[in-house]
Amino acid sequence: MRRLLFIIFISPAIGLSQDLDNLVGDLIYLTGKYVEPAAQATIYQSSSGWFKTAKAQELWDLDISFQANALFLPKNKRNISVSESELVNLGIQGDQTTANIPTALGGESDVVFEGFIEEDALEFDAPEGLNQSVFNYFQLQASLGLWKGTSLITRYSPKVKINKTHFQIFGVGLQHNISQWIPNADATKFNLAALVSYSNYKVSDEFSPANLVLGTINAIDVKGESYLFTILGSKSVNKFDFTAAIGVTSSTFSYTIGGDGELLLLVLNTALTTLEDNETNLKGDLGVNYNFSKFSINSNITFGRFTNVVLGFNYTI
């Protein structure tokens, strides 16, 4: 990633200087550091709150949920350390050779990077982040009971904006009750289920424009897809359902930088494909659901690299 080979090949064709080659390498390196924690956070946002119990849903019952969420952003995901020894063209303005700068989940910064393209000097502020310790958002979810203890689940989160960051998600999943296939299992006391889901999400972050001589960059979009595979169990006690689950997520991301300057954006966004990768995460869930009449209230906590708490208000039609 530090020496983007494709740039070396296309540089003669489009007239890029070695300085720009080095600058692009530095920018891609910093971009990866900046957006990685936000990409990881969306995995836990998209994989939380899919269930309230492992019980089989009645055929054609429609369960509608409004879910309030709180994603906790740990301090070690809000800042990164950058050293000039990791950069080729860019340096840190002033006497320091290392600096702590925010990630997309971090706060404010007074760090300035400086560099050059041939005889043109450039400088820009390190981008600032969300500046929150907790990211609050809500989503709507519906679950429809199908045949053989299977439920179809859909969810949607309207675009949420905090400061200059936007988040939006759509997902669909299937949950199947396994207890019905286990001989002598008493479904009135304990249930076991499997769940698989797909989520599609987008995080958009705007920051102060950085003038790079050939153009300006001022935003980055992260688009992701995640598949979740979960085994969950629940135990019923009076009107309560206590639930525990373990799951695995497999996620892919793509990145796009926004701004002005057709050539600069073409090179940067082509280079960003080197950051695209598949990421696998293990997570756990604990939850409790309280039933009364056709209503229920459930709470769920998802934990792993991030912690996400869900409070859901549900109505069954």
- The pair of structure tokens assigned to 271 is 């280079």
Question: Considering just the CA atoms, what is the radius of gyration of the chain in Å?
Answer: 23
Helix (H, G, I), strand (E, B) or coil at 131: coil
Task: Tell me the pTM.
Answer: 0.86
Which residue in this structure is represented by tokens 């070396």? 8
Identify the pLDDT of residue 107.
87
How far apart are alpha carbons 142 and 151 in whole angstroms? Answer: 10
Tens of pLDDT, residue by residue, the chain (317 residues): 443 434 433 444 344 567 778 888 888 899 888 988 988 898 998 999 999 999 999 999 999 999 999 999 998 899 999 999 999 989 999 888 899 999 989 888 889 999 887 777 888 888 888 888 898 889 999 999 999 999 999 999 887 777 777 888 999 999 999 998 888 777 667 899 999 999 998 888 888 788 877 788 888 888 999 999 999 999 999 899 999 999 999 999 998 999 898 888 888 888 888 888 888 999 999 999 999 989 999 999 999 999 999 999 999 99
- Environment class of residue 61 by beta-carbon count within 10 Å: exposed (0-12), middle (13-18) or buried (19+)? middle
66 in Cβ contact with 313 (< 8 Å): yes
How far apart are alpha carbons 189 and 240 in whole angstroms? Answer: 11
- The pair of structure tokens assigned to 155 is 């969810």
Identify the pLDDT of residue 175.
98
Identify the pLDDT of residue 81.
92
Nearest by Cα to 219 from 235, 204, 234, 231: 204
How far apart are alpha carbons 207 and 178 in whole angstroms? Answer: 48
How far apart are alpha carbons 232 and 175 in whole angstroms? Answer: 10
Alpha-carbon distance values, 99 to 85, 96, 113, 273 (Å): 12, 7, 10, 27
Amino acid at 212: L
288 in Cβ contact with 310 (< 8 Å): no
How far apart are alpha carbons 38 and 15 in whole angstroms? Answer: 34
Q: Which domains does the chain have, with CATH numbers?
A: 5-316 (2.40.128)
Max intra-chain CA distance, the chain: 80
How far apart are alpha carbons 203 and 79 in whole angstroms? Answer: 18
- The pair of structure tokens assigned to 314 is 């549900």
